[in-house]
Amino acid sequence: MLAHLRLTLICWLIYLAVTANFELSNLVVGLLIGLAIATILRPESQPLSLRRLPAVLFNLAKYTAWLGVDIIRNGIRVARIVLDPKLPIRPGIIAIQAGMKSELGVALSAHAITVTPGEQVVEIGDDGVMYVHCLDVVTSAEGAEEAQRKRRAMLERIFE
């Protein structure tokens, strides 16, 4: 029941953000759509402690900011490579150990790597090894382990 309400609320907020119309009729329509989606999806209830929520939100914001900085830095690097007349790419695939047990953790690590320009996960092995295609293997391989350690620490603080 709690999960149902939570999903309804999230859908409602997204609907209101997209329509940006706070008249009573729109509020009601949004609530009905949210209820319908929650009824169809039937979310599984999972324990949510309200006490941990602020810490989780704070860590989520920190993670998003870190990811944003990473994306901008690497975006500029890739822009440089593409604009360079000599096209100085050193493509290749490197293996990075995700070091996380849960599938969600590995998936989110892979997402963080793939969302960064210049690196993308091609394949994930059974043992949680991510095979990452890089535009510049030498530069990416240097910082890869360190970045994954940092990423893992942040993700574990959000989803433990």
Query: Where on the chain is the footprint of another protein (CB under 8 A)?
Result: 14, 16-18, 20, 71-72, 75, 78-79, 82-83, 87, 89-95, 110-111, 114-123, 125, 129, 131, 133, 135, 137-138, 141
How far apart are alpha carbons 21 and 77 in whole angstroms? Answer: 40
- Kindly tell me the sign of the dihedral angle through the C-alpha atoms of 33, 35, 39, 41: positive
Q: How far is the CB of 106 from another protein (least distance, A)?
A: 13
Output DSSP code: residue 126: T
41 or 138: CB nearest another protein = 138
- Per-residue three-class SS string for 45-112: CCCCCCCCHHHHHHHHHHHHHHHHHHHHHHHHHHHHHHHCCCCCCECEEEEEECCCCCHHHHHHHHHH
20 or 24: CB nearest another protein = 20
Helix (H) or strand (E) holding 125: none
Helix (H) or strand (E) holding 20: none
Spatial contact of 116 and 134, defined as CB atoms under 8 Å apart:
no
Q: How far is the CB of 24 from another protein (least distance, A)?
A: 18
Q: How far is the CB of 19 from another protein (least distance, A)?
A: 8
75 or 150: CB nearest another protein = 75
8 or 74: CB nearest another protein = 74
Output DSSP code: residue 113: H
Q: How far is the CB of 70 from another protein (least distance, A)?
A: 12
45 or 90: CB nearest another protein = 90
Q: How far is the CB of 69 from another protein (least distance, A)?
A: 13
